[in-house]
Amino acid sequence: MARIKPQALLIQSKKKKGPTRISITTIVMCNLIIALIALSLVATYRYWSRRSPDQSGSDLSTLEDIGGFVKKYDLPGYAILNTSKGPITVELFKDGSPEVVDRFLDLCQKGHFKGMPFSHVIKHYVIKGGGSQGLGAAEDWISKGKLRSQLVTRPKHEAFMLGTTKNRPDDKGFELVITTAPIPDLNDKLIVFGRVIKGEDVVQEIEEVDTDEHYRPKSSVGITGVILKREI
């Protein structure tokens, strides 16, 4: 039998027992993949933690656009009208007045109501935000309302309802009206799209401000901002 030379035997032994070498490139790529997976998990956790139920009711400065439209069940159902007298929380009638609510929400996103003054305060009737004359002369409106109250036994507008005046389709204005007493049949002038569920005392405090003969507040009082919420 032929004898194997020691040098050849040593080389053969190294081939059998030597560990498999992993290139530096492979190690770096594996580390990068692990790092990317970790970052992805952290980012996913942060995203869903921000959308938790506790956070979903916070200030919605923007509405989430899904596929070019906002899904109805994602729309805020409540609005907090922050006023110089305190907050007024209203429930929005998304099903009863969807078009008006959509327009109201859109204007909230654009800051339309920030700094809006209450231009007319009519005690035991309404407080109105906005500067146009959509309701007509206050004296005329009151006299008609009192006349109708004698003829109509079942009021269609209760106290603490949120509405807006009926404007022309091309009118870019949007006034806010909060009733402070049951008002008989204002359908020809008012569209109700919500109701006050918290802050009735604030409405009553605004109602008590001093006004001139045209029912305009003598001291400045108005809306400082609006916060939209999905849930209360």
Q: So where are the chain's domains? A: 72-229
- CATH homologous superfamily of domain 72-229? Cyclophilin-like (2.40.100.10)
Residues 133/136/140/141 CA torsion (nearest 10 deg): -90
Note the pLDDT of residue 100.
92
> What is the predicted pLDDT for the residue at 6?
56
Sign of CA dihedral 178, 180, 181, 184: negative
Q: Which of 179, 184, 209 is nearest to 196 (CA)?
A: 179
What pLDDT does residue 61 have?
A: 40
pLDDT at 40 over 70: yes
Q: Looking at residue 49, what is its pLDDT? A: 60
The band of 59, judged by pLDDT with boundaries at 50, 70 and 90, is very low
User: What is the pLDDT at residue 148?
Assistant: 41
What's the CA gap between 216 and 222, in Å, rounded?
A: 12
**Per-residue model confidence (pLDDT) at position 140:** 53
Residue located via tokens 């409540």: 78
Region at 185 (left for phi over 0; alpha for psi -120 to 50; beta for the rest): left
What does pLDDT average to over the chain?
Answer: 75
Q: Of 211, 164, 214, give the one whose Cα is nearest residue 192.
A: 164
Q: Above 90 in pLDDT, residue 115?
A: yes
